[in-house]
Structure 1
Amino acid sequence: MITRRKFILNTGLATTLVMTLPSLAFTMDKKEIGLQLYTLRDELPKNVGLTFEKVAAAGFTTVETYGFSIKDQFWGVTPIELKKILDKNGLKAISGHYNLGSFLYDGNTSELIAAIEAAKVLKSEFLTIPWLDESFRRNIQDYKNIAARINEAAKMCAAAGLKIAYHNHDFEFQKHDGITGYEILLKETNKDLVYFELDLYWVVRSGNDPLKLFAANQGRFKLWHVKDMDKANQALNTEIGSGSIDFRTIFKEAKQSGMKHFFVEQENNYNPDAFESIKTSSGFISKKLI
């Protein structure tokens, strides 16, 4: 199993405040709150429509999909059907996690093409790569090969009106002859076509500092996963604001990061259940972070 989801200024006074407080301008423009749907992986297959109703009711306006396959589509729902469900609930699928089959390893484009078509139907902005199989990321050359494939995929996505992004876990921060896989991906991918979805939990879990990544690679992290770390057990998640990650400080540097969209994700340790957890996270973000 893959581990892995406007406020409109309309008065002269508000405009004046924004001009004098740039950070506030950014904060106000980020009223949308997204959810990585893997958070609700146990609920979606049971009732797709009802799950999305609850997502919208919890305060989310955007989502990031997962789990698409040529055979089963999205949990048995076609992209066309899913778009209708999203529209009904006032939700936008800004991004999606798509496994690209064997493309990253052997160049077979069949699943990549299917993923692009699905993302286009959903009118997504980003097609995001969620994972690299361990056998294909063992050394520097492996990462260089992956970066070259991502560049190829990025061109195909761009031709279809999409952007490609790469989502990290912690393994990318392991060093190979003094350099991390993540450094290779950042260096070897096309800065004009390839973006990154920074999973803040995995960055912190790996012992790294998101702020240092922002400073060294300004503007490249167009997407974030906002996932908190349990204070007692780092291997567990928790509701945003309940854990050990300092999101207030991180969000202050969102402009430097280049962040356009973020998605709450919680993979485990729900309190008392997944739906209540996402409501808690949404409430904290809307009151304390944006």
Structure 2
Amino acid sequence: MKTLPVAVQVYSVRDDAEKDFRGTMQKIKALGYEGVELAGLYGLEPAEIKAAIADAGLVALSAHVPFQELVADMDGTIAKYVEIGVQYIAIPYLMEEDRPGTPKFEDNVKLFAEIGRKCKENGIQTLYHNHDFEFMKMDDGRYALDYIYDTIPADLLQTEIDTCWVKVAGEDPAAYVKKYSGRAPVVHLKDFHKEGKPGNMYELIGTEVKKEESAGTFEFRPVGSGDQDFPSILEASVEAGAKWVVVEQDQSIGRTPMEAIQMSREYLKGLGW
């Protein structure tokens, strides 16, 4: 089977990047990754970020840029990532008040399109990175995630399917990637183990949420160590015309984050990736 280049979401090793961004890029390259997806600039200037990534021999593939930052200063925020040289900017997460089912959601979809137009003007493709809350049904029966993609033209917004959250939402990740064939340039590889109906999932990604009664457990794991069927996801990514896959692990338990992303890369190498 054809393979794709493998990047890692720097959020996975965010503490390492905060302490020593340049050294962390070197370590990521040594593990066999070919690119990185940024999640913040760690107090560095865009030129410093660009140089550290290039010097490590990595591709500055993409960046998760908070929706609030993009809305507050669209031109200035995008300009930073133009300087770094990313191919993609992903809208990574919506706060509770911005999500489907809230009064803001329809206007937010219009803002996604505006961000997409501004990025396109600057030679960057905008992506939307899902969680599970976009899998709430709209009045017409569509998932909110599909509504976003149905509403905004593909040239302005493409997908970054997060395969963990698709499965958490009860859908088949491979099928969902294939559903957006031709519109799925970057696919997130994320593994997890879940039992029952845990209430701690968003606490684990650093988001404060209302305390829920937890009737189970949830744990992010290195790729190949959890509940996901990655051979089918990887095959679907190739079939869908993806350009890259990106390893992401929001939290590591029982090992360092760097050890976790090493395990993920070794697993993929074992599959011929």
TM-score > 0.5 by shorter chain: yes
Distance 2:46 2:86 in 1: 11
Distance 2:128 2:164 in 1: 15
Say whether residues 1:213 and 2:196 are aligned partners.
no
Question: Paired residue for 1:238?
Answer: 221
3-state secondary structure, aligned to 1:96:
strand
**Contact 1:219-1:256 at 8 Å conserved across structures:** no
Question: Paired residue for 2:128?
Answer: 166
Question: Paired residue for 1:94?
Answer: 61
Say whether residues 1:43 and 2:16 are aligned partners.
yes
| 1:146 counterpart (87, 99, 108) | 108
**Contact 2:138-2:144 at 8 Å conserved across structures:** yes
Distance 2:148 2:102 in 1: 10
Residue identity (%): 28
Letter in 2 for 1:33: V
| 1:56 counterpart (26, 29, 35) | 29
How far does residue 240 in structure 1 lie from its aligned partner after superposition?
1.1
Distance 1:220 1:239 in 2: 26
Distance 1:241 1:93 in 2: 25
| 1:179 counterpart (94, 119, 142) | 142
How far does residue 261 in structure 1 lie from its aligned partner after superposition?
1.2
Distance 1:142 1:258 in 2: 33
3-state secondary structure, aligned to 1:119:
helix
Question: Paired residue for 2:81?
Answer: 119
Letter in 2 for 1:281: S
How far does residue 147 in structure 1 lie from its aligned partner after superposition?
2.2
Alpha-carbon deviations, 1:39-67, whole Å to 9, x = none? Answer: 01122111222211211111111000012
Distance 1:138 1:147 in 2: 10
Distance 2:194 2:150 in 1: 34
Alpha-carbon RMSD across the aligned residues, in angstroms, is: 2.0
Alpha-carbon deviations, 1:190-226, whole Å to 9, x = none? Answer: 1122111011011111111123323433222211111
Q: Cα distance 1:168–1:201, how it changes in 2: closer, same or farther (>3 A)?
A: same
3-state secondary structure, aligned to 1:267:
coil
Distance 2:108 2:264 in 1: 34
**Contact 1:144-1:185 at 8 Å conserved across structures:** no
TM-score under structure 2 length normalisation:
0.85
Rg larger in 1 or in 2? 1
Q: Cα distance 1:240–1:85, how it changes in 2: closer, same or farther (>3 A)?
A: same
Distance 1:175 1:223 in 2: 25
Alpha-carbon deviations, 1:163-191, whole Å to 9, x = none? Answer: 10000011000123333211211110111
Distance 1:164 1:50 in 2: 29
Distance 1:121 1:93 in 2: 11
- Pairs within 5 Å for 1:1-290: 24=1, 26-27=2-3, 30=4, 32-67=5-40, 74-101=41-68, 108=72, 110=73, 112-139=74-101, 142-177=104-139, 178-230=141-193, 235-290=218-273
Q: Runs of 4 or more off by more than 6 Å in structure 1?
A: none
Distance 1:93 1:114 in 2: 19
